[in-house]
Amino acid sequence: MRIKQKTSTNLIYLFLITIFFSSCYNSAKITPSKELMSTKDFPNILNYKGVPDSALDRSVYAYSDLGTWHGYALPTKVDKQLLGSFIGPYIMTQDNGIWLSEALTKVEIINSENGEVIDLSKAKIFENNSYPNQLTQVLQIEKPNLFIQTQLIFISNRTALIKVAIQNKSQDKNLRLAVRWSGDSFLEEVRFSKEENGIRVNFGKNENIGWISTPNIDDLVIDIRTKNYSVQLEDKILQPNEILETYLTQTFCFSEQEKQNEMIQIAEAFHQPATIFKKNQTNWDNNLQSIIPNLDKEFNTPAHQRIAVKCLQTLKGNWKSAAGFLKHDGLFPSYNYEWFNGFWSWDSWKHAVAIAPFDSQLAQNQIRAMYDFQDEMGMIADCVYRDTIIENHNWRDTKPPLSAWATWEVFQHSKDEAFLKELFPKIEKYHNWWYQYRDIDKNGLCEYGSTDNSLVAAKWESGMDNAVRFDNTKMIPNQWQGGSMNRESVDLNAYLFAEKKYLAKMAAYLGKEKEAQVYQETALQLQSKIHEMFYDEESGWFYDIDLETKKHLKVYGAEGWIPLWTKAATPEQAARVRETMLDTTKFFTFIPFPTLAADHPKFKPKNGYWRGPVWLDQAYFAIEGLRNYGYEADAIKSTHRLFDRLEGLKDSDLPIRENYHPLTGEGMESQHFSWSAAHLLMLLTE
């Protein structure tokens, strides 16, 4: 292991600074948003503390970064036997997410004078915090008198770096100390073996690679017992106030080639750890500086800054790098929910828009990740996975067409013309696919459908799986592939209207004037149909249309305000829709904008999925729809209700949820949900 010994003056200063910052972190002092922000201003925004009781325990949340497929937690105050160590890792390379170990690299400090392991459970805890960029612990031991600091950061999309710094705080006594790392696994099939430059974690039937590495491994004492291991640094004498620093990496990758690539980065980290830590800090501070100063003036408060950071951490915690079938980086809907370990197209478009202000490259790749799964006809798969051991890619349906919106919004930040040129023909092909395979009567209005003509997949295609508007729906086979539901959906056609407008903008920017004119003209034609066919003058709402009778299917649902978000409604229509949106018996509930009107007989927020909960994408569309037609005060009031009333969002370390109860604010369904975080972040900054 790499050892550094510093002068007494420098060491005292270092640890005084450490304790000072620890005190500052715990006070959670936040500076005004126009000043430079640092990760130190945002401790414990999300609760990453706890020890899993088994491999399958999802009640403990895992911190990750840089697109890694593994993450870690901190011990709680009661987990004294694990103080100084980091919990995990939680790995997403097996069984849709499991805890590999309670602590794969448990750190022990040995008093070599008597051979005893120093009892860290008796340590005084100065700091046990997660920050956006790292996990940190600072402990004090009285006998012998030691300060101990442990830190964990990610240095790549496959590797975490752990640092342990130990200071002899005695005034007049040398201490002979050794550091030992040891670990085992929850999983019966896992074995450890020593190989050149490290310790291999063998997963049995799973061919993925785990790797534990330290500097100068040939100089260490290594004990391998197949199901557990230990690595011990040779004794070092620490004079009063000297610091011993040791480093260790944990790597989880998918091939020998990836492992070899990681060895280069690991060697650099061991050679220049201070530079690596500084780079980590700088990158995250730049992320914060891309977001915090740009908060809307209505939300320029410490509480809203913390919400923004919670959104940022949620998004980056769900970031997964290219692997297997996934050729580009993207975001899971939720790493914590076992059936969300893949990329979904509808989610991806939303993620990309929110990511773009702080990482336009990741935003671009999130879009590319789904277009990698565009077939010859132009369709994009609903959801795709790193491998298909547990689930196959879903080609039974696609999702609502929002990729043109996402691509244009990302382009506003990246200004990458090559990206726009790359995506434009693909989006065109996807746009045309809707009219080829989802306009069964060729009247220019599309329906949701499925490639296998199943109703369940057609409902999935809408994104609103069990929405009341789809009750009593039937499928109509088409002559090409699968079939359509027997209704023309207002939200789908409003999205397609917006897509035409965005395609027109892209074409104009790329110098394709004829294409731009065609898209502009067809957008106006579709807009007229939306005005005339989907809008009901009597009730002042937009509804789906029965494909055969052409009658409105009168259900007050979230789809009714999508024409406001896409600017497809007339001002007069928008005014009528607004009245219903602000009706407290329908949509302006305690948490505004449930997906089904609160006075509907089938309104069921609890466990109702799309039959009444507030989904934050639809709430965002509602608020921005109001804003599009000049109802700024309504938009601001609605946004404040969300930020002030959603359970766990404000002044709390609870995770962001998939959806929320409109009458209580209770968080429901999966935790650490990306598109909820994405739309909250958009509302904070738009």
Residue 134, token pair as written in the block: 């790292």
**Among the listed residues 470, 475, 471, 472, the one whose alpha carbon sits nearest the alpha carbon of residue 486:** 475
SS3 content of the chain, % helix, strand, coil (to 5): 40, 20, 40
Residue 481: which pLDDT band, with cuts at 50, 70 and 90? confident
pLDDT one-digit tens code per residue, 659-678: 999 999 999 999 999 999 99
pLDDT of residue 16: 37
Number of other residues whose CB lies within 10 A of the CB of residue 444: 14
Instruction: Note whether residue 160 is domain-resident.
Output: yes
DSSP 17-32: HHHHHHHHHHHT----
Q: How many CB atoms lie within 10 A of CB 455?
A: 15
CB 675, CB 683: distance < 8 Å: no
Q: Cα separation of 483 and 450, whole Å?
A: 6
627 vs 275: CA distance, rounded Å: 46
Indicate whether 160 pLDDT > 70. yes
**131 found inside a domain:** yes
φ/ψ of 182, rounded to 5, equals -150, 160
CA–CA distance, 51 with 82 (Å, rounded to integer): 9
- The encoded tokens of residue 184 equal 């085992």
φ and ψ at residue 655, rounded to 5 degrees: -75, 160
Q: What does the pLDDT average to over 623-647?
A: 98
- For the chain, the average pLDDT equals 93
Query: Is position 396 within any domain?
Result: no
Contacts of 674 (CB under 8 A, 6+ apart): 314, 315, 318, 331, 332, 333, 334, 347, 350, 351
Q: What is the pLDDT of residues 578-628, one digit of tens each?
A: 999 999 999 999 999 999 999 999 999 999 999 999 999 999 999 999 999
Q: Which residue has the higher pLDDT, 10 or 325?
A: 325
Domain count, the chain: 1
Is 321 within the bounds of a domain? Answer: no
Residue 412's SS3 state is: helix
Residue 159 lies in a domain: yes
Q: Specify the higher pLDDT residue, 283 or 3.
A: 283
Q: What is the mean pLDDT of residues 274-281?
A: 97
pLDDT > 70? residue 32: no
Q: Is residue 94 part of a domain?
A: yes
One-letter-per-residue 3-state SS of 319-343: EECCECCECCCEECCCCCCHHHCCE
CA distances from 41 to 22, 131, 133, 428 (A): 11, 9, 11, 45
The CA distance from 563 to 643, in Å, is 25
**Euclidean distance between CA atoms 252 and 259, whole angstroms:** 8
Q: What's residue 207's pLDDT? A: 81
Q: Structural domain of residue 165, as residue ranges?
A: 8-271
CATH of the domain at 162: 2.70.98.50
- How far, in Å, CA of 234 to CA of 232, rounded? 6
Closest among 555, 439, 527 to 488, alpha carbons compared: 439
pLDDT exceeds cutoff 90 at 30: no
pLDDT at residue 346, rounded to an integer: 96
579 and 561 Cβ atoms separated by less than 8 Å: no
Confidence at residue 6, expressed as pLDDT on a 0 to 100 scale: 39
Provide the whole-model pTM.
Answer: 0.93
At 582, the amino acid letter reads L
Most distant CA pair in the chain, distance: 93
CB-based contact 114:103 (threshold 8 Å): no
pLDDT digits (tens, 9 = 90+) for 50-102: 999 999 999 999 999 999 999 999 999 999 999 999 999 999 988 899 999 99
Q: What's the distance, Cα to Cα, between the start and end of the chain in Å?
A: 48
Main-chain phi, psi angles of 357, to 5 degrees: -65, -25
Res 1 pLDDT > 70 = no
Percent of the chain past pLDDT 90, that is, above it, reads 89
Question: Is the bond leading into 89 cis (omega within 30 degrees of zero)?
Answer: yes
Separation between Cα atoms, residue 343 and residue 352, nearest integer Å: 12
Structure confidence at residue 31 as a pLDDT band (50, 70, 90): very low
Measured distance CA(46)–CA(652) in Å, rounded = 8
Residue 483 has pLDDT above 60, yes or no: yes
- The per-residue pLDDT for 226 is 87
Q: How far apart are alpha carbons 304 and 307 in whole angstroms?
A: 5
pLDDT band at 396 (very low <50, low <70, confident <90, very high): very high
Question: Token match 């029965």: residue?
Answer: 546
What would the DSSP string read from start to end of 235-296?
PEEE-TT-EEEEEEEEEEESSHHHHHHHHHHHHHHHH-HHHHHHHHHHHHHHHHHHHGGGS-
- Whole-angstrom Cα distance, residue 683 to residue 624? 9
Whether the CB-CB separation of 82 and 102 falls below 8 Å is answered with yes
Full DSSP string of 284-308: HHHHHHHHGGGS-GGG-SHHHHHHH
* Residue 299 forms part of a structural domain: no
Which of the pair, 407 or 204, is modelled with greater confidence? 407
DSSP assigned state of 74: B
Lookup: tokens for 523: 């957008």
pLDDT in tens, 90-144: 999 888 999 999 999 999 999 998 989 999 999 999 999 999 999 999 999 998 9
For residue 597, give both structure tokens: 């009107």
Encode pLDDT of 518-574 as tens digits: 999 999 999 999 999 999 999 999 999 999 999 999 999 999 999 999 999 999 999
Residue identified by tokens 């769900």 is: 318
Q: How many angstroms separate the CA atoms of 17 and 24, rounded? A: 10
| pLDDT tier, 36 (very low <50, low <70, confident <90, very high otherwise) | low
| Residue at 582 is within a domain | no
- Determine if the peptide bond prior to 333 is cis (ω within 30°): no
Residues 454 and 417 sit within 8 Å (Cβ to Cβ): no
CB distance 38 to 285 below 8 Å? yes
As a residue count, the chain comes to 686
Q: How far is CA 234 from CA 51, 173, 180, 208, 272, in A?
A: 30, 20, 9, 31, 21
Three-class SS of residue 130? strand
